Amino acid sequence: MFIDTHCHLSKQYYDDIDSIIAKNKERGVERIIISGCELSEIEESLYYAKKYNDVYLSLGFHPSEVDKIENSHFKMLENFLGEEKVVALGEIGLDYHYGKENRLEQMKLFEKQLNIAEAMNLPVIVHSRDATQDTIDILKNHHVKGVIHCFSGSYEIAKQYIDMGFLLGIGGVVTFKNSNLPKVISMLDLSCVVLETDSPYLTPHPYRGQVNSSQYIPVIALKIAEVKGVSVDDVMRQTTANAIALFDF
């Protein structure tokens, strides 16, 4: 069994969710975690977790939501996090890709949610884009474990996260032509890797141009297997075991 530890499942992206879930299972991707990280999609994510057996949730407020989040929303988030099948808080973090003007507000939103994760003893899914140093500095002040979602940094940065107890979420980027990730992964132990698609985004090669979904997890696993010189089965077993140990599901 493969696990997609990070995807976005919503009617905005897919016409027929039933057929997406069926296709995933055909490809051996039997368990998925939806990242519901915008105010508008949290309730829809909860609906799918109730409807489908092997759909789990990670809920939180993405840094792009920073201007929309008010104090009352944190209470609401805590209530949602108490729901059955919620296995993590996220994705949360820092994103300076489009500018740093709201850096302090983003940091505040990130820290508030890390405090909630600590209090509720939940792992976190961390989104960090062009913000590595701030992310590391903040995480060092919190006793949380979790996944660095869509990791694409250097070996040195990978080591820092791993030494802090984090796993690296590896997705379609590892299959891209100019990606540095294969080299980084070749130097890492598979005990610190989980698989993710971040679908509908980041479709792996050679399917780029199509809408991504969890069914492509084996394509990512195959690339990692090639890089590591092991079998796809080995990658599946190890990454699935890593995810189960972290999310406790």
199: β partners = 7
Of 167, 98, 166, nearest to 129 by C-alpha is 98
In terms of Cα–Cα distance, which of 139, 187, 186 is closest to 166?
Answer: 139
Q: Binding Ni ion by CB under 5 A: which of 126, 198, 203, 239? A: 198
Question: Segment near Ni ion (CB under 5 A), from 19-27, 99-107, 192-200, 216-224?
Answer: 192-200
Q: Which region among 42-50, 158-166, 191-199, 230-238 touches Ni ion (by CB under 5 A)?
A: 191-199
End-to-end CA distance of the chain: 14
Tell how strand 193-195 and strand 167-170 pair up.
parallel
Q: How many residues bind to Ni ion according to rule CB under 5 A?
A: 2
Contact characters 26-45, Ni ion, x per CB under 5 A: ---------x----------
Shortest separation between residue 176's beta carbon and Ni ion, angstroms: 17
**Min dist. Cβ of residue 91 to Ni ion (A):** 5
Which is closer to Ni ion, CB of 4 or CB of 198?
A: 198
φ, ψ dihedrals at 150, nearest 5°: 55, 45
Q: Which residue, 35 or 203, has its beta carbon nearer to Ni ion?
A: 35
Closer to Ni ion by CB, 134 or 198: give it.
198
The helix, strand and coil proportions of the chain, stated in percent and rounded to the nearest 5, come to: 45, 20, 35
Record the tokens describing residue 115, joined without a space. Answer: 């405090």
**Contact positions toward Ni ion, by CB under 5 A?**
35, 198
